[in-house]
Amino acid sequence: MTQYSNADRPDLDWSQVRETVKLLTISVTQVENSLHVSGNSVDTLTSSFTGMVDNLAAIERTLQSMEDNNIKTEALEHCAATNQMINSSIIAFQFYDRLQQCLTHVTQCLKGLSELVEKPERLYNPAEWSRLQLDIRSRFTMESEKIMFDAVLSGKSIAEALALASEVSKSTVEDNEDDIELF
């Protein structure tokens, strides 16, 4: 590996582009590591919830086979309440999944930007920038991401882009309240 000068010890070979690429690479590495570590935790939680659902179903089957009495009724009510909490937790996992998708898009964007910036023949070529922007936008799966992207590219501030995306997210949630997909 070729040793280049760095910001601490610049020489004639020092490059602000190389320093930019290093910082972009650090950002990508941090996000990807966080996604990996948190993904393992979510996998464990998902497995635990699956086990709880199975155990809860077994308890309900056992209770259903018992004679009717106050204890059976109360236990079935607790099962129903626990089942409701588990469903709420699964929905919360879906929001984590959206976060994970968004952060994956951020790392892909940063990687693409890093690759473009480190090559002068691409850095100064508007067609390369346009191609990168189209590639980044094509990876977005959520409408709010596309709206933020388009807003920023059209010159809107971060606050304006976030407000536009928030409006879309809010209306999407209201339109799809009953369409939560449980995995």
pLDDT (tens digit per residue) in 127-148: 999 999 999 999 998 898 999 9
**CA 109-112-117 angle, 5° bins:** 120
How many structural domains are present in the chain? 1
Range of the domain at 79: 16-120
Q: Grade residue 13 by pLDDT with cuts at 50, 70 and 90.
A: low
Place of tokens 């018992």: 66
131, part of any domain: no
pLDDT at residue 62, as a whole number: 94
172, part of any domain: no
Place of tokens 């935790």: 41
180, part of any domain: no
pLDDT at residue 38, as a whole number: 85
54, part of any domain: yes
153, part of any domain: no
72, part of any domain: yes
Contacts for 23 with CB less than 8 Å, ≥ 6 apart: none
Statement: residue 73 has pLDDT above 90: yes
pTM over 0.85: no
* Best CA proximity match to 29, nearest among 117, 100, 96, 107: 107
149, part of any domain: no
Rounded to whole angstroms, how far apart are CA atoms 62 and 60?
5
| Mean pLDDT confidence for 88-106 | 86
Q: What is the dihedral of CA 115, 121, 127, 128, to 10 degrees?
A: -10
| Mean pLDDT confidence for 68-85 | 93
Q: How far is CA 47 from the centre of its chain?
A: 20
Contact yes or no for 146/140 (Cβ under 8 A): yes
Question: How many Cα atoms sit within 13 Å of 74 on the Cβ side?
Answer: 3
Q: Grade residue 95 by pLDDT with cuts at 50, 70 and 90.
A: confident
95, part of any domain: yes
pLDDT at residue 182, as a whole number: 42
Helices and strands in the chain: count of H runs, count of E runs: 6, 0
| Mean pLDDT confidence for 30-34 | 89
Statement: residue 79 has pLDDT above 60: yes
